[in-house]
């Protein structure tokens, strides 16, 4: 095992823990945007696609690299646009109490028995 | 600072924005900003890459790269912008699939590029894993897309000896990897590509109905891992960090989703859920008596209520009735009725999908309450209105150990004083199981299109 590989492995292992730590705090109402948002983030493969096409020496590499750039662009652009479209629709109610106080607040405002 | 160091530093900034974006998704207030931050980080990384050097020279084929990007943009933006919100799951599936395809191509091409230099065994292993995982994600997502888009049946597809055949395909993939490592044969890479393609299809075929979203979440994490594998091959920390973040988060999300359905992940992936059950609920069930009512009856009932709970399901979105539902809620609130929406974690076709669909209809998210809170509120509710939901309120999940959904947490609509069930027909829900709640003496069924019914109820409530 080389030092370089060990360095990548370290980054990998730490990223696993960061990923789990961050995600475990996402409320279920945001699970769909989360799936879509993380979908956009793995679109970073576009950077890899650019590098392989930029290094291509043969026709085979050029064709495969070109395809990779197209697919990766679809992934990254589509992912971010869809996620934004979803999130722009999440709107809070105009000024009101915290969700936790909801029952008391609306009881007080409207009268519980109608 | 050398150019290489600067670019690496920019990559580090990009990786940081991805982490911050995922963190931002933890709150509805910061989520959108988080997504924009990640997009900015991505743009930064892409621009920086144009100035990067490979094999000691600056990037070749820059016009070709730009052309590829332009093609991608032209296709992706309108698709992402104009597809219906109800079609969100298949859209995520297809964008995920192309990401997996790209990761596979990157690993493949890099291998072609470096094979003459006799790469170390671990490099070959990275390539093989990238090709395997990326391709499975690609072909699997394509089938999941076809299922959700109803290009093929959404039900599980099963045949005799399926699990044995799938296991054999899986073993074949492993065998090809081992042989390729030992012999360093390039030709085997193409064999692996073919086997992985078949594996992705075979793996997804027996998964159907409500399980497809769980599958997409899993395939999302696969693509993440494939990207991380190409990151190892290319020696890119950015790809490793971003891919691994998605791999880890996708796996966790998949487990959360399975948990919300009261089932284990292996059970979802390998049991061809629902295929037998559909056949079981035959005509016998439909002969039982139900109580049905008119929209006007519902309006009268609502007139006496002081606390109403809406329990929306995917059928609401199919009928495009979210706006009418919100209108009804607003009218009731004006009359002093307390209204809220009880959201099951898997309502809709993906976790949180219902929240998106209601947000689209301008329902404020403070009015949406999650399952546990909803269940404690329902006991004091006068009316529970079930619109287009079925499995998520099915008491069989609690009462009937023989039911396939036994153990799935549900919203206890039956705890409310009265239950109103809006349905198009007596057909069972997404999971294909009959619902005992339909026959309860508490329940009033209102047949018809949810949008029509709700519009009539709104008119009747306004008139009263």
Q: What is the ipTM of this complex?
A: 0.82
What confidence category does residue B193 fall into, taking pLDDT thresholds of 50, 70 and 90?
very high
Token pair, residue B70, equals 């332009």
- Nearest residue to B321 (alpha-carbon basis) of B344, B293, B295: B295
Per CB-CB distance under 8 Å, the chain B contacts of A28 are 256, 260, 345, 351-352, 370
Residues B103 and B247 in one domain: yes
Residues B380 and B404 in one domain: yes
Give the tens place of pLDDT for each residue, B47-59: 999 999 998 899 9
Is the Cβ pair B240, A39 closer than 8 Å?
no
CB atoms inside a 10 Å sphere around CB B108? 27
The answer as to whether B301 is a domain residue is yes
Residues B422 and B438 in one domain: yes
Residue B332 is part of a domain; what is its CATH number?
3.40.50.1220
The answer as to whether B137 is a domain residue is yes
Give the tens place of pLDDT for each residue, B353-367: 888 888 888 888 888
Instruction: Tell me if chain A has a CB within 8 Å of the CB of B215.
Output: no
Q: Which one of B228, B243, B273 terminates a domain?
A: B273
Instruction: Tell me if chain B has a CB within 8 Å of the CB of A95.
Output: no
Nearest Cβ partner for B102 among A45, A78, A107: A45
Q: Which one of B82, B115, B149 terminates a domain?
A: B82
Is the Cβ pair A15, B368 closer than 8 Å?
no
Nearest Cβ partner for B68 among A12, A47, A66: A66
Distance from CA of B327 to the nearest CA of A (A): 15
pLDDT of residue B135 exceeding 60: yes
Stronger pLDDT, B458 or A86, i.e. the higher one: B458
Is the Cβ pair B241, A82 closer than 8 Å?
no
Is the Cβ pair A53, B370 closer than 8 Å?
no
- Rounded to 5 degrees, φ, ψ at A90 are -75, 110
> Catalytic one among B297, B382, B391, B400?
B391
Q: Which residue has the tokens 């990761």?
A: B103
User: Under the phi-then-psi rule, with left for phi > 0, alpha for psi from -120 to 50, and beta for the rest, what region is B14?
Assistant: alpha
Q: Which residue has the tokens 């009735």?
A: B321
Give me chain B's average pLDDT, please: 87
- Nearest residue to B120 (alpha-carbon basis) of B241, B235, B243, B224: B235
Residues B305 and B384 in one domain: yes
| Residues forming beta bridges with residue B308, ordered by sequence position | B339, B383
Q: What is the pTM of this model?
A: 0.81
pLDDT of residue B79 exceeding 70: yes
| Rounded Cα distance, B100 and B219, in Å | 9
User: In Å, how far are A15, B11, B236 from B5, measured between CA atoms?
Assistant: 21, 10, 13
pLDDT given at position A109: 38
Residue of B nearest to A43 (CA): B99
| Rounded Cα distance, B62 and B217, in Å | 34
Best A41, A54, A90 member to test B by mutation, with max B CBs in 10 Å, is: A41
pLDDT of residue B282 exceeding 60: no
Half-sphere exposure of A36 (CA within 13 A, CB side): 32
Best B352, B365, B371, B411 member to test A by mutation, with max A CBs in 10 Å, is: B352
| Rounded Cα distance, B226 and B233, in Å | 11
∠ CA B225-B165-B211, nearest 5°, is 55
Q: With both helix axes pointing from N to C terminus, report the angle between B212-234 and A45-55 in degrees, rounded to the nearest 10.
A: 40
Best B109, B336, B348 member to test A by mutation, with max A CBs in 10 Å, is: B109
Q: How many domains does chain B have?
A: 3
The answer as to whether B280 is a domain residue is no
| Rounded Cα distance, B334 and B261, in Å | 36
CB atoms inside a 10 Å sphere around CB B163? 12
| Long-range contacts (CB closer than 8 Å, 24 or more residues apart) made by B156-165 | B156/B205, B156/B206, B156/B207, B156/B208, B156/B209, B156/B272, B156/B273, B156/B274, B156/B275, B157/B205, B157/B206, B157/B208, B158/B205, B158/B206, B158/B272, B158/B275, B162/B202, B162/B205, B162/B206, B162/B272, B163/B270, B165/B202
Residues B319 and B354 in one domain: yes
Stronger pLDDT, B243 or B345, i.e. the higher one: B243
Q: Which one of B82, B103, B131 terminates a domain?
A: B82
Three-state secondary-structure class, residue B105: helix
Is the Cβ pair A33, B249 closer than 8 Å?
no
Residues B115 and B257 in one domain: yes
| Rounded Cα distance, B392 and B401, in Å | 16
- Rounded to 5 degrees, φ, ψ at B165 are -65, -45
pLDDT given at position B240: 97
Please name the residues between 105 and 144 in chain B that touch chain A, using a CB distance below 8 Å. 105-106, 108-110, 112-113, 120, 122
Token pair, residue B20, equals 């911050």
Give the tens place of pLDDT for each residue, A68-113: 999 999 999 999 999 998 888 776 665 443 444 434 333 333 333 3
| Rounded Cα distance, B297 and B47, in Å | 62
DSSP B292: B
Per CB-CB distance under 8 Å, the chain A contacts of B72 are 69-74, 77
- Nearest residue to B147 (alpha-carbon basis) of B159, B136, B156, B160: B156
What confidence category does residue B276 fall into, taking pLDDT thresholds of 50, 70 and 90?
very low
Give me chain A's average pLDDT, please: 80
- H or E element that contains B437: none
Residues B377 and B259 in one domain: no
Residues B255 and B387 in one domain: no
| Rounded Cα distance, B429 and B348, in Å | 11
Residues B241 and B377 in one domain: no
What confidence category does residue A62 fall into, taking pLDDT thresholds of 50, 70 and 90?
very high
Instruction: Tell me if chain B has a CB within 8 Å of the CB of A51.
Output: yes
Residues B52 and B93 in one domain: no
- Rounded to 5 degrees, φ, ψ at B145 are -60, -50
The answer as to whether B279 is a domain residue is no
pLDDT of residue B417 exceeding 50: yes
Instruction: Tell me if chain B has a CB within 8 Å of the CB of A109.
Output: no
Q: Which residue has the tokens 């284990």?
A: B264
Three-state secondary-structure class, residue B205: coil
User: Under the phi-then-psi rule, with left for phi > 0, alpha for psi from -120 to 50, and beta for the rest, what region is B448?
Assistant: left
pLDDT given at position A64: 96
B244 Cβ neighbours under 8 A, 6+ residues apart: A11, A12, A15, A16, A19, B224, B225, B228
User: Under the phi-then-psi rule, with left for phi > 0, alpha for psi from -120 to 50, and beta for the rest, what region is B362?
Assistant: left
CB B445 within 8 A of CB B314: no
**Domain range enclosing B363:** 286-463
Burial of B334 (0-12, 13-18, 19+ CB in 10 A): exposed
User: Which of B64-68, B114-118, B324-328 has the weakest average pLDDT?
Assistant: B114-118
Three-state secondary-structure class, residue B420: strand
B449 is catalytic: no
Q: What DSSP string describes B294-358?
A: -HHHHHHHHHT-SEEEEEE-HHHHHTT-HHHHHHHHHHHHHTT-EEEEEE-TT-SSSTTHHHHHH
Nearest Cβ partner for B366 among A65, A93, A111: A93
Is the Cβ pair B366, A111 closer than 8 Å?
no
The answer as to whether B278 is a domain residue is no
pLDDT given at position B288: 66
């Amino acid at each position: 095992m080389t030092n370089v590989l060990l360095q990548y492995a370290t980054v990998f292992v730490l990223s696993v823990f960061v990923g789990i730590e961050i995600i475990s705090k996402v409320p279920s109402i945001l699970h769909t945007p989360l799936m879509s948002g993380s979908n956009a983030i793995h679109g970073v493969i576009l950077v890899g696609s650019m590098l392989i096409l930029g290094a291509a020496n043969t026709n085979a590499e050029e064709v495969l690299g070109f395809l990779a750039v197209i697919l990766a662009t679809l992934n990254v652009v589509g992912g971010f646009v869809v996620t934004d479209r979803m999130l722009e629709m999440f709107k809070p109610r105009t000024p009101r109490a915290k969700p936790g106080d909801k029952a008391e607040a609306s009881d007080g405002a409207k009268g519980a028995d109608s | 600072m050398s150019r290489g160091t600067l670019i690496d530093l920019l990559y580090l900034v990009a990786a940081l924005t991805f982490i911050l974006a995922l963190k931002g998704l933890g709150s509805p207030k910061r989520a959108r900003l988080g997504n924009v931050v990640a997009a900015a980080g991505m743009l930064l990384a892409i621009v920086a890459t144009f100035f990067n050097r490979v094999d000691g020279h600056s990037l070749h084929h820059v016009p070709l790269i730009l052309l590829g990007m332009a093609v991608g943009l032209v296709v992706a933006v309108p698709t992402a912008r104009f597809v219906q919100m109800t079609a969100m799951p298949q859209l995520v599936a297809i964008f995920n699939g192309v990401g997996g395809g790209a990761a596979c191509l990157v690993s493949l091409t890099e291998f072609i590029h470096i094979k003459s230099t006799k790469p170390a065994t671990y490099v070959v292993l990275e390539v093989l894993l990238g090709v395997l995982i990326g391709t499975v994600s690609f072909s699997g997502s394509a089938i999941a897309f076809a299922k959700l888009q109803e290009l093929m049946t959404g039900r599980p597809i099963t045949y005799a000896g399926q699990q044995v055949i799938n296991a054999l395909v899986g073993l074949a993939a492993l065998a090809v990897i081992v042989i390729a490592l030992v012999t360093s044969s390039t030709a085997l890479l193409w064999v692996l590509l073919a086997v992985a393609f078949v594996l992705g299809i075979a793996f997804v075929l027996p998964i159907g109905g409500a399980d497809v979203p769980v599958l997409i979440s899993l395939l999302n994490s696969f693509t993440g891992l494939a990207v991380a594998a190409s990151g190892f091959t290319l020696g890119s920390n950015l790809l490793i960090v971003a891919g691994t973040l998605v791999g880890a988060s996708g796996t966790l999300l998949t487990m959360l989703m399975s948990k919300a359905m009261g089932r284990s992940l292996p059970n979802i992936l390998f049991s061809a859920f629902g295929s037998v059950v559909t056949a079981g609920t035959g005509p016998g069930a439909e002969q039982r008596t139900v109580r049905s009512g008119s929209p006007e009856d519902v309006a009268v009932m609502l007139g006496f209520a002081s606390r109403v709970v809406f329990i929306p399901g995917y059928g609401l979105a199919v009928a495009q009735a979210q706006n009418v539902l919100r209108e009804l809620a607003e009218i009731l609130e004006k009359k002093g009725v307390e209204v809220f929406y009880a959201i099951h974690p898997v309502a809709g076709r993906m976790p949180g999908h219902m929240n998106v669909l209601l947000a689209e209809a301008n329902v404020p998210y403070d009015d949406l309450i999650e399952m546990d809170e909803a269940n404690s509120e329902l006991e004091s509710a006068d009316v529970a209105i079930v619109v287009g939901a079925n499995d998520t309120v099915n008491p069989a999940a609690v009462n009937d150990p023989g039911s396939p959904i036994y153990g799935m947490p549900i919203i206890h609509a039956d705890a409310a004083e009265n239950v109103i069930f809006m349905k198009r027909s007596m057909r069972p829900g997404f999971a294909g199981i009959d619902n005992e709640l339909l026959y309860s003496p508490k329940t009033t069924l209102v047949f018809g299109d949810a949008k029509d019914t709700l519009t009539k109820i709104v008119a009747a409530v306004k008139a009263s």
